[in-house]
A and B are shown apart, each in its own frame.
Chain A
């Protein structure tokens, strides 16, 4: 015990800049995280500049050229309506990014404040929030999103709301857990004893400590959001055609699996790579930032 305490003291003595540098160095050495970062950059680039790279309306049908295998003109082939699959994937990246950002923002906006309040104040507020969280977590996340879609209806906006709300309990849990552990720390007690206002304590002392897990969860959450939205699209209850959405593209390609498997293959690869990017960087961030991971 004493030995451990000592080493902690030493660690804090060496901390500060050196610690940050060490962690940054560790993140850069992590080739997997680096690869994830590259995947995310490609994804963002495609989403932002895609329509410039691939001009034209990706939803305009061209029935003469339906279900063509990959060719020079259409590197990934065409779908049942003769539309370029590459074009639709490129344009679809923008849709999925929009959804992912919307979902994660909604999750953060609702989940973080609720988690902070729940963890910091405890008591009845905490009890109420926790019972709601428990109930929501009693359902697998995807099913929760599906149930919400059932109530709200299909479409892009409702996809964002449904998936977003289904993620709120995860953020509440995460933030609440962190707050509970930080709240008992000596410096927070000291701040409270000095009469610092609650809001100030939350902002200055607790939020920074919660930032690391939130950052990690945000990266992982982007991946989950893409997966969930694509799942809803695949089932036909998400973003509706003719909007190019990866999941919906897969769903419609399913009918041509026997004769033109490429229609379903390529959108899946796009989803996979985007999600992989966020998962890799989430893992890398956790390893680099979380002090519980030894260096």
Chain B
């Protein structure tokens, strides 16, 4: 038996009220994150992966957002908490890193202030002590001359430095869960590798669980053990990383994997070229009936157009949402 998960999402549904009607960004999503685990969440832009992360911390403004379902963190439903209680969790037990460090850091406050304010808030230490710990965190994320950097403003730092500072901020209260929403997408490739190394190292050191949200399958392959694939707000496949890459079950996952280049792959198979998934992501207001992927699916069947497939659980902890497997 597996131990009780740290985070357990059950039937999460996040919708937005717009002028033209309700838009469902996340639809009946269920997933578990275990202690010390890195869970990858992949999908194209607009598939609801970022909204999921924001829903977990209840960071979506309501209205227009409406969240239903259960988000159990250590057994308590986050969605039932009072605003005061959820604030005690934010930045403390669960923290989050965003894609674009430049816009995510406040341009008119120093780096040190932005890190130490969370420390002061959650650990109840003095201003000086919090500042000292903030500098220590900057050192931990390998920012050179952290003492001086703490006094600087975000625009004075390079992109990579900013993301390091974001990580320092997110980890400053030693959270149990880190939500990383496209943490390397806005960075140069060489910097990306450094940030990934840093996250892997700190995850071990702090024993933090990570939900890694990205459209970059390479990043998932390097960091996660389990992957959830999302399409238009739905989880279409869940599998251990190795199995997913070896044998993707859902036609969408297969499409995703075929659309990225792998070093040496073309030589090995000799015939496979890069392929793209045909069609575009539909308008969220006009969701296709039946299986949401059917208009773009190369293996579409009659049933796919009419009825939504159920989530099928297979051996080896795999799940897939597709009529092919039913």
Contact = CB atoms under 8 A, between A and B. Distances in A.
Do A and B associate with each other?
yes
Interface in A4-44: 6-7, 10, 13-14, 22, 25-26, 29
A174 B197 CA distance: 49
B19 A3 contact: no
A26 B182 CA distance: 34
Interface of A: 1-3, 6-7, 10, 13-14, 22, 25-26, 29, 295
B100 A7 contact: no
- Counting from the closest, the 3 A-B pairs by CB-CB distance are A6-B45, A3-B45, A1-B186
Contacts of A26: 19
Interface of B: 18-20, 45-46, 50, 99-100, 182, 185-186, 280-281, 283
Contact residues of B: prevailing secondary structure? loop
10 contacts: A1-B99, A1-B100, A1-B185, A3-B45, A3-B50, A7-B45, A10-B46, A10-B280, A26-B19, A295-B19
Given A6-B45, A10-B46, 10 more contacts: A1-B100, A3-B46, A3-B99, A3-B182, A6-B46, A7-B46, A10-B281, A10-B283, A25-B19, A29-B19
A203 to B, nearest CB: 34
B39 to A, nearest CB: 20
Nearest to A5: B45
Contacts, number: 28
B125 to A, nearest CB: 37
A22 B100 CA distance: 31
A10 to B, nearest CB: 7
Contacts of A25: 19
B181 to A, nearest CB: 10
Contact of B185 (A2, A10, A13, A14): A2
B255 to A, nearest CB: 17
Nearest to B283: A14
A29 B20 CA distance: 12
B199 to A, nearest CB: 20
Nearest to B19: A295
A124 to B, nearest CB: 33
